[in-house]
Structure 1
Amino acid sequence: MSTNPLRVIIAGGGIGGLCLAQGLHAAGISVAVYERDAAPDARLQGYRLNIEPVGSRALHDCLPAHLWEILVATAGDPGPGMGVFTERLRLLMREDDLPTGLGPSQRTHAVSRITLRRLLLAGLHGIVQFGKEFTGYRQNADGTVTAFFADGTCATGDLLVGADGSRSRVRRQLLPHAKQRNAPGVGIGGKLRLGDTTAWLPEEITSTKNVILPKRDFLFTAVFRRREGSDAIVAGVGDQLRAAGLDPDLVVQDTKDDDYVMWAYVAHRRVLPAEATGQRGQRLRDLVMSRLAGWHPDVRELIAQTPEDTIEQFDFSAAAPVKPWPTTNVTLLGDAIHYMPPVGGLGGNAALHDANALRRALIAVSRGEQPLLPAIAEYERAMLTNGFDAVRAATMYLRLAILRSRAIRAVARMFFRLCGIVPPLRRAVFSD
């Protein structure tokens, strides 16, 4: 077993790659992240992300304690468990609330993507290099691996981790046989700010996340409500932010936005006229409204009042299952291997889970408790199982959304209603 210090190269600086980098850096393992974006602020998306308990555990384990505390302080409250409704807002089922008394690492958090990215980058100056477009790798005779970049530079280490998203170039070279399954669905989403003018919205829409399951198509809603105002956040964790080298006003700027309800309408691709592909705004809203005849008027009004500059279209694809491959000093995590439709919020949490599992494996290697390749093989077996379980779940939700058989839709609604009245069945199906 080698006694040389372990050197890890991560291709891709998304949430999975940065979470892994934070965990390895905290453990004293040499790590370098190479990100194709030109600058740290190149991905400042405005939508927030639901971090489920599995993702919370990963962030708690990988982040330094002060950054985890800041993340919790700046997060929003996603409300009680998800509800499933008919298009007339008749409740079919609501997930059970998590037990009371759970710590932050066991709960769900609605996190600003902007703030999450800033926190994941904090303390990694010199570890994350921007403007580094990965082009390929070479496995060397001495057991190392060299990554090459478009600017002509390269980096050599003991392990290369592909965390470079659904179009992963690492995966393309490692697993050229890996396939994609195009999902015949289309999504249209928008967000409506909450305030005095939206007091008419029903409590179900403004308090938690919901699935509306009509006789055709599918609507998902989620509320993003701040736990504290920006002034309270700065007062509570401002010193910790400054100690981490972060500007408190910059970190909490996203929390200065109004709370909002996000909605996503999902249907079969055939409902979207060819000329509407890639469109934004009013035309997409008109299309959604045309599909809502007979829906509860409050749901229709939610769509009607959404500012058109927030309404956009998104497409779906999913990775085909991949069988275990011969383990080498190149591996993958997150969307680089098991990308999935953005239905149910499963993708980001799966990436965080991978990062934490790989962190644990590499710490064992660095301590001399296990050789590198057996540790990576064990990680890959569990990662493929967990990751493609999430792909199947997300794909199932999408298929349910685009299913046009009214008989099967009726059965699905009956199933949710049964889960709603039989708690043991509900917990067996929907427990974490």
Structure 2
Amino acid sequence: MSFRVIVAGAGTGGLCLAQGLRRAGIDVVVLERDGGPRAAGLRGYRVGISPNGARALRACLAPELYAVFEASTGEPYTRLLMCTERYHRLLAVPFAEMPGGGSDEHNVSRATLRQVLLTGITDAVAWGRPVTGYELRPDGRVTVHAGGGDPVTGDLLVGADGAGSPVRRRFLPGAGHTSTGLVAIGGKAPLDAAATALLPDGDVHGMALMFDRHGGMGISHVMRMRWDDDHVPRPGIAPAHAAALHGWEGLAGDPTTDFVSWGVTVPHTRFPGGMTSSTDGFALLTHARRVTDGWDPRWHELLERSDPASAITIDIRTSDPLPEWEPGPVTLLGDAAHTMPPGRGAGANTALRDARELCERLVRVRDGELGLREAVGGYESLMRRYSALAVRESLEFMNDGAASRGPVARALGTAGTRAGMRLVDRVPVLRRRMIRDMQRVRDSELV
């Protein structure tokens, strides 16, 4: 059976789906609001690809393109450090203790991942075409309206257009979002010896989480790419990675070089009015310094070395539970269906799993094994279940529950949490149990 799929949004999930459909010979067109693949809004922050995400990419991408993805990731992490705001160790988790030794855990720049996912399908992407609405046709198909051109008609519209999805608003007008009560500020600094010396884990290659006494949290990631500043593969990388990069046309256009990214998450009450939507990088860096007053001086020096143009702020929200609906020619994928806090690193990976699950069912439609409505309904039923778990666990890890407690209760809660982390750090069996709990939403094969 031949049919056309229209994807609203050229984000991680939408492009992964488009890759899988193109590989399967299914007609696909992607409508994207950005003016081009390297639009200014795509700041290239790090995204962690979990085993769920890696399996989805492996299923949807051609083998040679999956090899490019692996080569485009940063050097693997050695460990995850959890510490106080003064850099005192609470708990360290070696990645070697992760299920599978952490081999399916990858670090990639969002800008780089988009370059990879665009490889070979640029002709399917229409840039500068924000989807504004759609109409259901009497023949069961759907006509999509988008700025910058004529309407597009297809057999299935996939709303992969982010947390503010116009497709979602039309499709599920009652499905909203709830604030977590938290706001994050993020920034980036070039990675060099001086920046490395300012990190909580020093020259240990990895990521760190900092928990302060007031309910705030910090995070730092190190990204060492497999190419140098001139985008030439570094000497000494694996031969397979070097070969994949030499043959990848996207490398020359990728702006990513080695960097440190960091973030600070604090209660909404610690942000002045209007700051949550500010685009003034200098003001954001100044406020990040203010809300981390009392932290290790090295942290503040890292903030001072950060590029103001990289600074962003995010009002952290989460999707309300999705209602059930009758399957039809419109469905949702990624943040359009299930926005979640970033604490568990499950958002992009759940979107990638969506792409895999939907693509596999659409291939069965192509082969005459399923009807289109049956395939979409099966995907939606499964997606609602696993995304609800991801949203719930992400919200449990990152919410403003501490804000409702007084200063004494908050201090006691922080002390208890820190004592628990130190105990887990000393007892291997507890550490293994914690790792398994951490990975539940990142690796569905553990559930």
Task: Report TM bin, short chain.
Answer: 0.7 to 0.9
CA-to-partner distance for each residue in 1:107-135, whole Å, 9 max, x for gaps? 22221222221221121143222232222
Q: 1:265 to 1:23 in 2, by over 3 A?
A: same
1:195 aligns with 2:198: no
Per the alignment, residue 418 of structure 2 pairs with 413
Q: 1:415 to 1:324 in 2, by over 3 A?
A: farther
Is the Cα–Cα contact under 8 Å of residues 267 and 401 in structure 1 kept in the other structure?
no
Is the Cα–Cα contact under 8 Å of residues 400 and 409 in structure 1 kept in the other structure?
no
Q: 1:219 to 1:364 in 2, by over 3 A?
A: same
Per the alignment, residue 57 of structure 1 pairs with 55
Structure 1: which 4+ aligned runs deviate by more than 6 Å? none
Per the alignment, residue 169 of structure 1 pairs with 166
Per the alignment, residue 250 of structure 1 pairs with 253
- Cα distance in 1 for residues equivalent to 2:4 and 2:51: 30
What's the CA shift for 1:279? Answer: 5.5
Match of 2:30 among 20, 23, 33: 33
Q: 1:89 to 1:32 in 2, by over 3 A?
A: same
| Aligned ranges 1:215-254 → 2 under 5 Å | 215-216=213-214, 217-229=216-228, 230-232=231-233, 236-237=243-244, 240-241=247-248, 246=249, 248-251=251-254, 253-254=255-256
| Aligned ranges 1:118-129 → 2 under 5 Å | 118-129=115-126
What's the CA shift for 1:309? Answer: 4.2
Q: 1:126 to 1:203 in 2, by over 3 A?
A: same
Three-state SS of the structure 1 residue aligned to 2:378 is: helix
CA-to-partner distance for each residue in 1:316-373, whole Å, 9 max, x for gaps? 2211111221221211000111112333432111111111111111112211222222
Higher mean C-alpha displacement, 71-80 vs 351-360: 71-80
- Cα distance in 1 for residues equivalent to 2:89 and 2:422: 8
Is the Cα–Cα contact under 8 Å of residues 222 and 261 in structure 2 kept in the other structure?
yes
Q: 1:176 to 1:307 in 2, by over 3 A?
A: closer
Three-state SS of the structure 2 residue aligned to 1:13 is: coil
Q: 1:299 to 1:68 in 2, by over 3 A?
A: same
Q: 1:424 to 1:113 in 2, by over 3 A?
A: closer
| Aligned ranges 1:179-190 → 2 under 5 Å | 179-190=176-187
Is the Cα–Cα contact under 8 Å of residues 78 and 224 in structure 1 kept in the other structure?
no
Per the alignment, residue 264 of structure 1 pairs with 263
What's the CA shift for 1:103? Answer: 10
Unpaired runs of 5+ residues, structure 1, are none
1:144 aligns with 2:141: yes
Per the alignment, residue 373 of structure 1 pairs with 373
Q: 1:383 to 1:123 in 2, by over 3 A?
A: same
Question: Counterpart of 1:250 in structure 2: which amino acid?
Answer: G
- Cα distance in 2 for residues equivalent to 1:398 and 1:423: 20
TM-score after normalising by structure 1: 0.88
CA-to-partner distance for each residue in 1:238-266, whole Å, 9 max, x for gaps? 5522xxxx354224x42xx3x22211111
Q: 1:291 to 1:114 in 2, by over 3 A?
A: closer
Question: Counterpart of 1:410 in structure 2: which amino acid?
Answer: A
CA-to-partner distance for each residue in 1:122-168, whole Å, 9 max, x for gaps? 21143222232222222223222222223462222221111111111
- Cα distance in 1 for residues equivalent to 2:123 and 2:114: 16
TM-score after normalising by structure 2: 0.85
Is the Cα–Cα contact under 8 Å of residues 163 and 332 in structure 1 kept in the other structure?
yes
Per the alignment, residue 20 of structure 2 pairs with 23
Per the alignment, residue 435 of structure 2 pairs with 427
What's the CA shift for 1:308? Answer: 4.0
Q: 1:412 to 1:133 in 2, by over 3 A?
A: same
CA-to-partner distance for each residue in 1:284-311, whole Å, 9 max, x for gaps? 4443334445433433433344344443
What is the root-mean-square deviation of aligned Cα atoms in Å? 2.7
Per the alignment, residue 324 of structure 2 pairs with 324
CA-to-partner distance for each residue in 1:18-73, whole Å, 9 max, x for gaps? 11000011011121112222333325423232222221221122112222212211
Is the Cα–Cα contact under 8 Å of residues 20 and 61 in structure 2 kept in the other structure?
yes
- Cα distance in 2 for residues equivalent to 1:355 and 1:382: 12
- Cα distance in 2 for residues equivalent to 1:203 and 1:149: 46
What's the CA shift for 1:102? Answer: 5.8
Three-state SS of the structure 2 residue aligned to 1:136 is: strand
What's the CA shift for 1:392? Answer: 2.2
Unpaired runs of 5+ residues, structure 2, are 235-240
Higher mean C-alpha displacement, 283-292 vs 60-69: 283-292
Q: 1:67 to 1:152 in 2, by over 3 A?
A: closer
Identity fraction in percent: 35
